[in-house]
Structure 1
Amino acid sequence: MKRRTTMDPHQEQPAESYKIHVKMLKTVALDVSCTDTIDHIKSKVSAIEGIDKCSQELFFSGIHLKNDDKLADYSIMTNSSVDLYVTDGMQISVKIPSIGKTINLNVKKSNRVADVKAEIEQRVGILMNNQILMYAGRQLEDNQLLSQCNLRNEQPLHVLVSPVDKLRIFVNVRGERTVSVNVKCWYTVADVKLMIETSEGLPVSTHVLMRTQSGVEVVLAEGRTLQDQSVKNNDILVLQQKVLPQQKVQVFIKTWEGKSLTMSLLMSNTTEEVMKKIGDRLWMKEGVYYLCYRGHILSSGDTLEKHDVQNNSTIDIRLRNSRVVEPKPKNGKGAPRN
């Protein structure tokens, strides 16, 4: 006994092939399916007549047909006539290496290069004045028509991003103040440091210029330009003294009595380490005194480098109260009297 198969009413059936007529200066018959898109129809016309798809506009009963729609969406049946109008439209590919993007633009041959730049600005946010358009190794001028540029579909335009020549940057000087500096994008970091030395009196050889990148402070290379290191208008840079933890300095420790001790210290020495050295020389208990440099208290954990302690400078000992511990006797019988 033969089994009877039941067709699923929701299963898509193969589309029946039929003909439509596209009216140009001449009429062309195309074999199509109702599921073909308008873009597919344009491809067929392009293959037969050599008319670029971007130059084709199709109409049916006065309705403009959209590329992604299907023939069935417009009830275009067998032997229907579709009108073709040839325009000066074209699609170009634009590569932007600086941001790693390639975009496609629908333009007209009668558009100027400046119009393309405006479209690029709208699509990816690169200002027109910062764009240089290159095609086949040559720079395109803003007033050129695309029809004069001999563009081909298989060869893309390239966009070079040219930053504004003049920049204003802000430099935070060792966390104490922020200064505004007018520079040009082709200045090197060494040039900027020299400008700051002239205005602020800080020697360039002992300082580095840094910027914060992804939450990390990065030292800018001396001989490279601001443009090479992606410094932009209104960026904030930081000028800090070079960290030389093993650099030794001679420091005078001035006591409350006006006496001075000469000590050789490392810039990496902490306040605790300095106080231990002082305690070994003066036999003073911890907590009785604190250290002060140029009016600033050296807090716990601070290094000499943090306070920019200079060679042959003076650190003052300040008493926390009036109690002074007498020097320890060597023989244990009491301190000698004057």
Structure 2
Amino acid sequence: MDLRQEQPPRYKIQVKMVKTVALDVKSTDTVDQIKSKISAIEGIDKSQQALFFGGNHLENNNRLADYNIMTNSSVDLYVTDGMQISVSIPSVEKIIKLNLKKSQSVADVKSEIEQKLEDNKLFSQCGLSNGHTLHVLVRPTDKLRISVNVDGERTVNLDVKSWYTVDDVKLMTETFEGLPARSQILMRTQPGGAETLRDTETLQNQHIRNNDTLMLHQNIQFFLKTYEGKTLTMSMRTCDTTDKVMEKVEAKLRKKAGVYYLHYRGACYVSWGYS
């Protein structure tokens, strides 16, 4: 009898970047192996790759089957500024490896090195004796769970990193909601009013914290026809009021004469006049 171990079937998944790349994979392949395939094709170092499926960040040691990634599934790739370096410390005859981000400072690297060295100390070397109390300081994580409220109608929960930019969040929202990233406006509500978040800035730089809720409005374009027969092209946010629309109309027409009415499908939404 010829006993052979049955091999899992091969199939294709799609990794979404600026372009879509098709990969031949097996359900038993790990996320780290997928990153190796992407690195071989696109030249993107594995330490710079963050893979997502269904809003979940894929961990390196897990298999595709663990995330129920099947044939023709689309996996999102985000390129980070991560890198790995080796630090040689002759005084202790040791080489340590550090996973860093290019945006980290030299002080951050020194702190990482100190952490690595201190972790290997014996209790006897730390001057601890029976009955001593250890104090644990918890460092904040760069993993965040935020909520995006879409036009006040529904909420999308996203697992993100503090170093993601607002543009990254918009791309993730586009994946789940189908709303073009270029039409999205992300805002944060503050006591002094709503603040529009800057696309190229990171969440950390704009003080977005774990469990924060962002407001998403769309930038829409429509056409407004005046009684004089002139057609105005308007670009507004879905959260803008009719008063805001009329302010833009006034600025475009450059006059304050007569009584203005705003109609849509026969309904009058606002009107006012000037003396």
Between structure 1 and structure 2, the one with the greater Rg is 1
Same fold (TM over 0.5): no
Q: In proportion to residue count, which structure has more helix?
A: 2
TM-score range, shorter chain: 0.3 to 0.5
Could you tell me the TM-score, scaled by structure 2's length?
0.41
Could you tell me the TM-score, scaled by structure 1's length?
0.34
RCO (CA 8 Å, sep 6+): is it higher in 1 or 2? 2
